[in-house]
Amino acid sequence: MSTPTDVFEQLSAGIGSGDLSKLHLLYAPDAEVTIPFMRPSAVSIHGREEVREHFARFDGQISLQPRNVRVYETSDPEVIIAEFDYLVGDALLANIQLLRVRDGLIVESHDYHDHAAIADVMS
């Protein structure tokens, strides 16, 4: 069974590869994802199918290279906090992700990315 850190590493590697087509398979069928800083407004994603649709919107269109990754375990064995940068062009953009992983799948994710800065760098 994959640990929360293993699952985060798979997610991070997939995003870094630019191929987002299978990343939804890391999420439970009833996963809940919140992205409070998404532009133009916060996003809540409910379930694996919506996660697939979300990733499909960006598949092959953006290059986000994870750098300076630090993963912190918590007193809850299902929960980790990952702190990392995305290299986007020449810019390093800070990110934090809180993941709850159960039975090797993400059941809950809170993604704190600076979407405004990512959009600025990509435009």
Residue type, 114: D
> Domain limits at 49?
4-122
CATH number of the structural domain spanning residue 11: 3.10.450.50
pLDDT at res. 122 = 58
Torsion of CA 86, 58, 21, 26, to 10 degrees: 50
pLDDT at res. 81 = 98
Tell the residue number behind the tokens 């991070």, with chain if given: 12
pLDDT at res. 121 = 67
The 10s digit of each residue's pLDDT in 6-25 is 999 999 999 999 889 999 99
pLDDT at res. 61 = 72
Number of structural domains, the chain? 1
Residue type, 7: V
pLDDT at res. 60 = 73
* Intervals of the chain under pLDDT 70: 59, 119, 121-123
Tell the residue number behind the tokens 């809850």, with chain if given: 76
> Is the sign of the CA dihedral 92, 98, 102, 105 positive or negative?
negative
> Is the sign of the CA dihedral 53, 57, 63, 65 positive or negative?
negative
What 3-state class would DSSP assign to 99?
A: strand
Q: pTM for this structure?
A: 0.91
pLDDT at res. 117 = 73
